[in-house]
């Protein structure tokens, strides 16, 4: 067999298959309770609408909709999106020509990595941060600096120090609302402070917001972009509301960045499906989003509540968990001041054992950009399992933790 590996690029060394992906594989086994992954429940998809929307698309656009489309996006969707961005959970300043449609918001991360990152460039990320962003940025060879976070996300004082100490930072990356993996939301006052710091230091932020529609309680928070639209690139997706399979997301950005990102997308996949964009345009213009969100909230809120209660019940008391007001994830870590012997701090070993009992989660270490430290922690997803399964899964993990930690 001819050895092709010798021709692989050097960047392959910095890339690795993800824990997420391996978990997706487990999740296919019948009876497996996956609290890993970041999947919506297929019950949440507005599939009873699909035929209606499809018929409207057909009537309006005919065959032509299946042709290659414009790289920046399908006009009727670009026209209606600014209205979507006015929702209280975004308040994003956007015009049709500051939006660029992407094949899922994952593609937006690759486009921005390609646009900004030269090998060795410094990128500031939350600690922990979204694993998929790291995967998208890594091929371009950045170095990561971790921004300190507390229960309200990024700590402005620390960010100020970081930006002062490292003036070469290219951009900061944040999932500002219902963060993946922690579920944390940066409060408005703090967003304002962060925006002020961006202006003060002349820096850019990428604000990745896949989750803000999924709010189960509390008051909607305007985007970071709303406080400094020249300095913030805002990402959105319909994967958590409409359905992941439509692979529909996008970028809102100042013109130079938006135009360069469109040029980059040409090389990546030419264009995103017109038909799928037309479906989402009909979904938005038909005012289906609001009632649909209500249904999603009714499905997910009890699951979140159930998971928090189950953790309180079944996990050893040395653990704490976040109480996210929305989104898809709960983050479990050791309570402050708790320390354990080194040999107990092996979350992968615990995962192997829960998997053998058909329960999955993602070890927290997967979400730290720098591998030299990562607290004993886990990310739990509550959107794609019934309450019964959530309780059962958490009970199993809890017992294994008890046993492993000899508590």
Task: Enumerate residues 221-250 that contact a copy of itself by CB under 8 A.
Answer: 230-231, 239, 243-247
Task: Judge whether 149 and 155 are in contact, CB under 8 Å.
Answer: yes
Q: How far is the CB of 133 from a copy of itself (least distance, A)?
A: 9
CA distance 112 to 109: 5
Compute the least distance from the CB of residue 135 to a copy of itself, in Å. Answer: 4
3-state secondary structure of 234: strand
Q: What does the alpha-carbon distance between residue 116 and residue 371 come to, in Å, rounded to a whole number?
A: 23
b/e for 53-90, b at 16 or more Cβ within 10 A? beebbeeebeeebeeebebbbbebbbebbbebbebebb
CB 209 within 8 A of CB 234: yes
Binders of a copy of itself in range 144-173 (CB under 8 A): 170-171
Element containing residue 154 per DSSP (H, E): strand 153-154
Among 76, 104, 128, 364, binds a copy of itself (CB under 8 A): 104
Residue of 150, 189, 217, 269 interacting with a copy of itself (CB under 8 A)? 269
Least separation in angstroms between residue 404's CB and a copy of itself is 30
Contact flag: residue 67 with a copy of itself (CB under 8 A) = yes
CB-wise, 198 or 347, nearer to a copy of itself? 198
Q: Which of residues 370-399 bind a copy of itself (CB under 8 A)?
A: none
Q: How far is the CB of 255 from a copy of itself (least distance, A)?
A: 9
| Residues near a copy of itself (CB under 8 A), total | 83
What value, to the nearest 5°, has the Cα angle with vertex 245 and ends 244 and 251? Answer: 60
Of 63-71, 215-223, 297-305, 352-360, the segment contacting a copy of itself by CB under 8 A is 63-71
E strand or H helix at 190: helix 188-201
Q: Which residue, 136 or 154, is less far from a copy of itself as judged by CB?
A: 136
Quote the tokens at residue 320: 């704490």
H/E run at residue 248: strand 248-252
User: How large is the C-alpha radius of gyration of the chain?
Assistant: 21
> Per CB under 8 A, which region of 67-75, 152-160, 327-335, 344-352 contacts a copy of itself?
67-75
Q: Which of 91, 192, 275, 344 binds a copy of itself (CB under 8 A)?
A: 275
CA nearest to 35, candidates 308, 223, 296: 308
According to DSSP, the β-strands at 149-150 and 153-154 are: antiparallel
- 69 forms part of the interface with a copy of itself (CB under 8 A): yes
For residues 313-372, which are near a copy of itself according to CB under 8 A? none
CB 382 within 8 A of CB 330: yes
What residues numbered 2-41 form the site for a copy of itself, per CB under 8 A? 2-5, 7-12, 15-18, 21, 24, 37, 39-40
**Which stretch in 186-194, 267-275, 337-345, 389-397 sits in contact with a copy of itself by CB under 8 A?**
267-275
Taking the C-alpha atoms of residue 365 and residue 378, their distance in angstroms, rounded to an integer, is 8
- Closest distance of CB 235 from a copy of itself, Å: 13
Residues in the chain: 407
Stretch that binds a copy of itself, among 159-167, 211-219, 259-267, 386-394 (CB under 8 A): 259-267
Cα–Cα–Cα angle for 380, 222, 298, rounded to 5 degrees: 45
The nearer residue to a copy of itself, 15 or 298, going by C-beta atoms, is 15
Q: Identify the residue among 88, 219, 263, 340 touching a copy of itself (CB under 8 A).
A: 263
- Interaction between residue 212 and a copy of itself (CB under 8 A): no
């Amino acid at each position: 067999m001819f050895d092709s590996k010798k021709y692989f690029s050097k960047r392959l060394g910095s890339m690795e298959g993800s824990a997420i992906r391996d978990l997706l594989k487990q999740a296919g086994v019948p009876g497996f309770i996956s609290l890993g992954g970041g999947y919506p429940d297929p019950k949440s998809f507005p599939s009873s609408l699909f035929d209606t929307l499809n018929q409207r698309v057909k009537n309006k656009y005919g065959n032509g909709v299946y042709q290659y489309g414009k790289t920046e996006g399908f006009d009727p969707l670009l026209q209606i999106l600014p209205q979507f961005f006015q929702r209280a959970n975004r308040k994003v300043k956007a015009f049709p020509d500051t939006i660029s449609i992407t094949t899922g918001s994952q593609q937006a991360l690759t486009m921005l990595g390609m646009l900004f990152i030269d090998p060795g460039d410094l990128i500031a990320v939350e600690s922990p941060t979204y694993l998929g962003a790291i995967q998208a940025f890594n091929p371009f060879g950045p170095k990561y600096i971790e921004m300190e976070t507390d229960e309200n996300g990024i700590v402005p004082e620390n960010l100020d120090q970081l930006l002062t100490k490292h003036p070469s930072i290219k951009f900061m990356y944040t999932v500002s609302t219902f963060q993946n993996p922690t579920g944390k939301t940066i409060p408005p006052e703090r967003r304002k402070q962060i925006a002020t710091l961006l202006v003060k230091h002349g820096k850019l932020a990428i604000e990745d917001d896949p989750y803000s529609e999924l709010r189960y309680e509390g008051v909607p928070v305007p985007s970071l972009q709303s406080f400094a639209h020249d300095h913030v690139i805002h990402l959105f997706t319909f994967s958590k509301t409409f359905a992941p399979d439509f692979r529909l997301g996008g970028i809102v950005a100042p013109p130079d960045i938006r135009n360069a990102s469109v040029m980059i997308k040409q090389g990546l996949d030419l264009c995103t499906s017109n038909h799928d964009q037309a479906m989402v345009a009909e979904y938005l213009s038909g005012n289906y989003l609001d009632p649909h969100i209500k249904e999603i909230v009714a499905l997910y809120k009890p699951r979140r509540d159930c998971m928090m209660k189950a953790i309180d019940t079944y996990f050893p008391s040395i653990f704490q968990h976040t109480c996210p007001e929305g989104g898809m994830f709960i983050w479990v870590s050791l309570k402050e001041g708790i320390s354990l012997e080194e040999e107990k701090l092996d979350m992968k070993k615990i995962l192997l054992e829960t998997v053998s009992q058909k329960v999955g989660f993602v070890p927290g270490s997967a979400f730290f950009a720098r591998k030299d430290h990562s607290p004993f922690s886990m990310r739990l997803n509550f959107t794609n399992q019934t309450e019964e399964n959530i309780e059962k899964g958490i009970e199993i993990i809890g017992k294994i933790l008890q046993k492993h930690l000899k508590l």
